[in-house]
Chains A and B, each alone.
Chain A
Amino acid sequence: MAVRSDARDAAGKYWLLVLMLAAWELSGRLGLVDQAFVPSLSAALSAVFDMWERTHLFMHVMVSLARVTAGLLAAAAVGVPLAYLLGRTLPGLAERIEALLRVFALINPYCVFPLFVVFFGAGELPKIAVLAWVSLWPVLFGTLAGVRGVDPALIRTARSMAAGSSAVFWKVVLPAASPSVFNGMRTGVGMSFFILIAAEMTGATAGLGWIVHSAGALNQVPRIYGAGLCIVLLGVLLNRSLLFFGNGLFFWWKSGTDPLAGVRTEGAARRLGLRSALAAAALFAVAMGVGAYEIWRAEALLNDPGEMPEYRVWAE
Chain B
Amino acid sequence: MREGPGAGAGPVRAFLRKYACIALFLAAWELMSRGGLVNPVFFPPFSVVVETVWSMTLQGTMLPHVKASLTRALYGFVLAAAAGVPAGLLLGAWHSGLRRHLDMPFEVLSQINPFLLFHVLILFMGIDEAPKIAIVFWTCLWPILFSSMNGASSVNPLLVRAGRAFGLGRAGLLVKIVAPASSPLVLSGLRLALGYSMFMLIAAEMMGASRGLGWLALTTQETFQVNSMYASVVVIAFLGLALDGAFLLAGRRFLAVSREGFMNSAE
Using a CB–CB cutoff of 8 Å, the interface residues on chain A facing chain B are 12-17, 20, 37, 91-92, 95-100, 102-103, 105-108, 110-115, 118, 137-138, 141, 145, 187, 191, 193-195, 197-198, 201-202, 209, 212-213, 216, 221, 224-225, 228, 231-232, 235-236, 239, 256, 259-264
Which residues of B lie under 8 Å from residue A13 when comparing CB positions?
A: 100-101, 103-104
The answer to whether A216 and B119 touch across the interface, beta carbons within 8 angstroms, is: yes
Which of B50-58, B141-149, B157-165, B249-257 is the contact stretch? B141-149
Given contacts A17-B105, A99-B18, A99-B21, contact A232 B111 (CB under 8 A): yes
Instruction: Say yes or no: is B114 at the interface (Cβ < 8 Å to chain A).
Output: yes
Closest to B119 in A: A216
Residues in B whose Cβ lies below 8 Å from that of A20: 105
Residue of B whose beta carbon sits closest to that of A232: B111
Chain A residues with Cβ under 8 A from B232's Cβ? 111
What residues of B have a CB within 8 angstroms of the CB of A115 in the complex? 42
Chain A facing B: main interface SS: helix
B124 at the A/B interface (Cβ < 8 Å)? Answer: yes
Q: Using Cβ atoms and an 8 Å threshold, which residues of chain A touch B264?
A: 102, 105-106, 137
A103:B241 contact, CB within 8 angstroms: yes
Q: Which residues of A contact B237 (CB under 8 A)?
A: 103, 106-108
Inter-chain CA distance A110–B203, complex, in Å, is 7
Assembled-state Cα–Cα distance A149/B166 (Å): 38
Question: CB < 8 Å: which of A16, A91, A99 contacts B2?
Answer: A91
Residues of chain A within 8 A (CB-CB) of B139 are 194
Shortest Cβ gap from B8 to chain A (Å):
14
Report Cα–Cα, A213/B38, bound state, in Å: 37
What is the total number of residues of chain B having a CB less than 8 Å from a CB of chain A? 69
Supposing A137-B263, A262-B142 touch, asked if A118 and B42 sit within 8 A by C-beta, the answer is: yes
Name the residue of chain B whose CB is nearest to the CB of A199.
B203
Interface majority SS on B: helix, strand, loop or mixed? helix
Q: What CA separation (Å) do A197 and B123 show in the bound complex?
A: 19
Q: Within 8 Å CB of B120, what residues of A?
A: 224-225, 228
Residue B217 at the A interface, CB < 8 A? Answer: yes
Q: Given A201-B115, A228-B120, A262-B146, is A16 in contact with B101 using a C-beta cutoff of 8 Å?
A: yes
Stretch of B60-68, B77-85, B167-175, B185-193 with 4 or more beta carbons under 8 angstroms from chain A: B185-193
B210 at interface by CB-CB < 8 Å: no
CB-based contact A239/B102 at 8 Å: no
14 contacts between A and B (CB under 8 A): A12-B100, A96-B17, A99-B21, A103-B22, A137-B264, A141-B261, A145-B261, A194-B200, A198-B203, A239-B111, A256-B150, A260-B192, A262-B107, A262-B146
Residues of B within 8 A of A239 (CB): 107, 111
